[in-house]
Amino acid sequence: MEVMKGLESKGSPIGRKARGGSGSLDLLLIAYRNLNRNRRRTILCVVAVALAVFFNIFMQSWIEGMYKSIEEVVQTFETGHLQLVSKGFEEEKEYLPVQFPLEDGKAVEDLVSRIETLPGVKAALPRIVTYASLFDSVVKHAIVWGIEGERELSLHPLNLTERGSGMVEGRFPRKGENACAVGVGFAGKAGIRVGDRLPFKMVSAQFSDKFWNPEVVGIFKFDYRKYDEGVILVPFDRLQRILVLGEGTQQLFIYLEDAAYVEEMKQPIQALLGEGSVIHSWKENYWVAYLRNSTFLFVIIFSVFQIVASFLIINTIVMVIHERIKEIGMMGALGMTRGEIVQVFFFEAVLLSVFGAFAGSLLGGIVTWIGSLFPLDMEMFTGGGMKDFPISGTLILTFSVQILGKGFLFGVVVSALCTLFPSLKSAFIEPVEALRR
């Protein structure tokens, strides 16, 4: 009787309901007060939701960071925003042939100037990539990469983590110079230092063997294992002459003002060059397409974390209802409808979800922000494997308010919806039966 008198007191929400004055705010207040009745249980539920939301946010940040890393590697080293090659090269591209130059070997300067006049094009960079056989070295094969170093560096960084040139010793070879640069992995395996000679052989556009013995003037680290271990960087014009390409180029990498508009730029470039050329966009790269199409797998992983936490809340709410059978009977006896009883327990579960989701979002935001400032070493997770996987050696987590918002909303909505069933169960307990227990 004393408990019922207390519930019917002037300041009690249930007391006001008995006089016809209770509303959703009163029911929310009851639910909030119920959280303090068993603090251990409340803390357990909040921690469960917080951990689920944290891992949700962390994995989204991780995956988004990996997406961006792969896309940057592909755009910098593999395709540019748009990659332009001849049809002959396209048919035999796995061999990196040099006998199929763009526009049958017409002057690359003219080709570049025509493309760079198109609206939306930022720059067009000629490149040559071919295989080489090395002499007097424990490394027997490598890829020779001919680029215009100064133009490349003015357009984008080559070290993807430190956002710089990537040169750790010496310098890049200059235009026309009989020189080269190698990666730190290559130099370590071959025992090469700045000032050494590096003899190797290539096959020219005329199918003749071309021997070259350039001086190593620099050692670089691009933070992309494929290039750090297996590439010899040389001046574009020097390689162009040695491979007998005349004034032509094997490939042209086109960079746009906005990488998102690659599809729109394909048609005007194709119209400018005719049908003898093939254009690829960075979005067509195998790894980019594969990861973007695998998004549903990550959604499943996110869902598992949240569902586990939600089942814990369901179990807790069922226990709450079982422990408070008499209280439910009192609520019904004092005039609360089944819908209002459901609201009390549902509000309680929502509050647990909100507090847990907020704590998880806060923790996730702090961790991903720190991760965006201090890259993670990918060697720890791959064991040094996946050499040809287009990802830099370090992974930068993506800190995003949008990711935090999605994690918070996901935690609240999923956890709250999973408590509907046990909340509805409370409404079907008869007041008389509840008071007998």
pLDDT at site 313: 66
Neighbouring residues of 94: CB distance < 8 A, sequence distance ≥ 6: none
125-163 pLDDT, tens digit each:
999 999 999 988 888 899 999 999 889 998 889 998 888
Question: In the predicted model, what is the mean pLDDT of residues 232-258?
Answer: 95
Q: Count CA atoms closer than 13 A to 275's CA, side-chain side.
A: 0
Q: Count CA atoms closer than 13 A to 377's CA, side-chain side.
A: 4
Rg (CA), the chain: 33
Q: What is the DSSP string of 216-266?
A: EEEEE--S-HHHHHHEEEEEHHHHHHHTT-TT--SEEEEEESSGGGHHHHH
Give residue limits of the domains in the chain: 2-70+292-436, 81-281
Asked if 214 and 168 touch (Cβ cutoff 8 Å), the reply is: no
Task: Using DSSP bridges, classify how beta strands 141-147 and 121-134 pair: parallel, antiparallel or unpaired.
Answer: antiparallel
Is the entire prediction scored with pTM above 0.85? no
282-332 pLDDT, tens digit each:
988 888 877 777 777 777 776 777 677 667 666 766 666 666 666 777 777
pLDDT at site 7: 45
Q: How confident is the model at residue 38 (pLDDT cuts 50, 70, 90)?
A: confident
CA distance linking residue 164 with residue 159, whole number of Å: 5
Q: How confident is the model at residue 276 (pLDDT cuts 50, 70, 90)?
A: confident
Residue 383 has pLDDT above 60, yes or no: no
Stretch among 219-223, 258-262, 265-269, 433-437 having the lowest mean pLDDT: 433-437
